[in-house]
Structure 1
């Protein structure tokens, strides 16, 4: 059997390793190689597969290679860990099935950024392999292996649970493929839910939210994602790890640091404090009691209005001076 694997993240690598372990030899890997790897959560270099005996080809837009994929005439196509929608031509190129992967219990959680969403909502996930169709995440389900998402989990620990579930799902899936027993179950459209796109800017922390919401955002945005962030004056601060302090003895102004310890600091949210245990900046910033993180909209707008008024006044003076100079020359 001839296989094509398309992707570029950790879950794609796991699939490749499982195919190798299963002694499946005829595999072509299309590895996503973006211009900036840092913008792709969990990006993994898949070129190592070439040293393992597989054909490796890099791409940036997979649909640009659709004719090549069609000509390869594969039995199965796997699209795992790719945010691009593949063309109908690629989907139909597989003689048997084109198979996608999603880390939610489909039909729940269709759409974008599933790892971040199930972490933020503390919603159980599943390693789900399904038939690719033109509509994202709608095809029949071949294998679905669930896993728990707990209050203490963040995106990093949820990904680890996902990969364990994916291993188990792949054992079942590859066995079914090799023994010509692959069958699917149609999804229920009535039970379908949908997640929207997330960007780096969605990780901006609003300290005026409840502590639980702030903590869930930090947990959802942490590695392998770009991280939640706040500001101190003009400095951006990445917040990687946190926990809610429901019984904190501190009570202060929202967004203000209440306590600094050797390896953490405590900051006030709307209702409770949270403890920040991991953060990073582009310089040697250190937290201090009384520092206020984030921006207060009304104050920032007021400062901007003053600066705009000052600039307008200066421009008027310059314009008047310029007119006088031009008038004298005439």
Structure 2
């Protein structure tokens, strides 16, 4: 089978390795490292370093694919079918029309389509403490995540999942759906099912700045935020005297339902620092242990018992909630 693959992330590389072993001929569409950096692509991977996996590689002039040279390339290429994995931009309608059998990608949410369209549904699902995620392989159309569905799978979200592990689960679901529909895909006879005729809802865009920690928030919300924006994203963060501290891994150490020696500490206060540089910080409702973090300075001079982590109120974005208390509007 031959297909085009839009992507520029480590998930794209994993998909490429699997289908190359299946004997597929892959025509890659990607972006160069400069554009990956400029566009803040989380998990960007320079796939040109893995050219042995591909029949051809096209480096897009714009990540949006709105450049005339990009359109000219697709118009003249006579491609039939494409998948988008690790490509976080809408594909213009005129380019979709260049594929005789269509372009297909993944999207889902904890409520299933048409609810939870839009941006970062995996990250939002952790933040909202969702327990399951329904992911769909669907045909791209001109709108946002509104195309007919080829197939879907559901996977669990456990208390240890992060944005990274959910991306891996989503990736494996894609592989399973494609393999279940392999014969129809090869014969270019893909069967699709229209989404429910309901208005649906959309998650808002998240940026790196939205990872700022509100130490007055519930310890449970803080712990989920850290898991939701950890690597390959940009990490949750706060400040100690204007020095930024990025936090990638943290767990609940104590809750205030139990007796512990830091129950009267201020929210954001560093309660203790261990010899391996892991530290405890007080939150509303308990104490977090921070396992993995980074600063631009020597951490031993910054992370000290009794110091306070602070996040200016003016920098904390309050996303609008729907009537159910969730973020898809």
Query: Contact between 2:226 and 2:247, CA under 8 Å: does it hold in 1?
Result: yes
Name the counterpart of 2:269: 256
- The TM-score, its normalising length taken from structure 1, stands at 0.82
Name the counterpart of 1:40: 41
How many equivalent residue pairs?
297
Structure 2 distance, partners of 1:53, 1:83, is 21
SS of 1:63's equivalent? Answer: coil
Aligned partner (choices 138, 145, 148) of residue 140 of structure 1: 148
SS of 1:107's equivalent? Answer: coil
Farther-moved stretch of structure 1 (92-101 vs 202-211): 92-101
Q: Taking structure 1 as reference, are residues 180 and 297 closer, same or farther at Cα in structure 2, changes over 3 Å only? A: closer
Query: Contact between 1:128 and 1:144, CA under 8 Å: does it hold in 2?
Result: yes
Name the counterpart of 1:213: 221
Query: Contact between 1:126 and 1:165, CA under 8 Å: does it hold in 2?
Result: no
- 1:276 equivalent in alignment to 2:290: yes
Structure 1 distance, partners of 2:92, 2:188, is 26
Q: Deviations over 1:213-267 (max 9, x none)?
A: 1111111110110101110002100001111232461211111111222342211
Structure 2 distance, partners of 1:271, 1:159, is 30
Q: Which has the larger radius of gyration?
A: 1
Aligned partner (choices 73, 79, 82) of residue 77 of structure 1: 82
Q: Taking structure 1 as reference, are residues 128 and 7 closer, same or farther at Cα in structure 2, changes over 3 Å only? A: same
Name the counterpart of 1:318: none
Name the counterpart of 2:326: none
Name the counterpart of 1:292: 308
Q: Deviations over 1:131-181 (max 9, x none)?
A: 001111110111212211112222122223223323322322434301444
SS of 2:15's equivalent? Answer: helix
Q: Deviations over 1:19-76 (max 9, x none)?
A: 3233233x32111225264521111222245323510111233232022102212111
- RMSD over aligned CA atoms reads 2.2
> Structure 1 stretches of 5 or more lacking a match?
299-330
Aligned partner (choices 109, 114, 119) of residue 121 of structure 2: 114
Q: Taking structure 1 as reference, are residues 149 and 295 closer, same or farther at Cα in structure 2, changes over 3 Å only? A: closer
Structure 2 distance, partners of 1:248, 1:225, is 35
Query: Contact between 1:243 and 1:276, CA under 8 Å: does it hold in 2?
Result: yes
- 1:89 equivalent in alignment to 2:94: yes
- 1:31 equivalent in alignment to 2:36: no
Name the counterpart of 2:319: none
- The TM-score, its normalising length taken from structure 2, stands at 0.83
SS of 1:291's equivalent? Answer: coil
Name the counterpart of 1:239: 247
Structure with greater helix share of residues? 1
Offset, 1:191: 7.1
Structure 1 distance, partners of 2:250, 2:190, is 43
Moved over 6 A (4+): none
> Structure 2 stretches of 5 or more lacking a match?
315-329
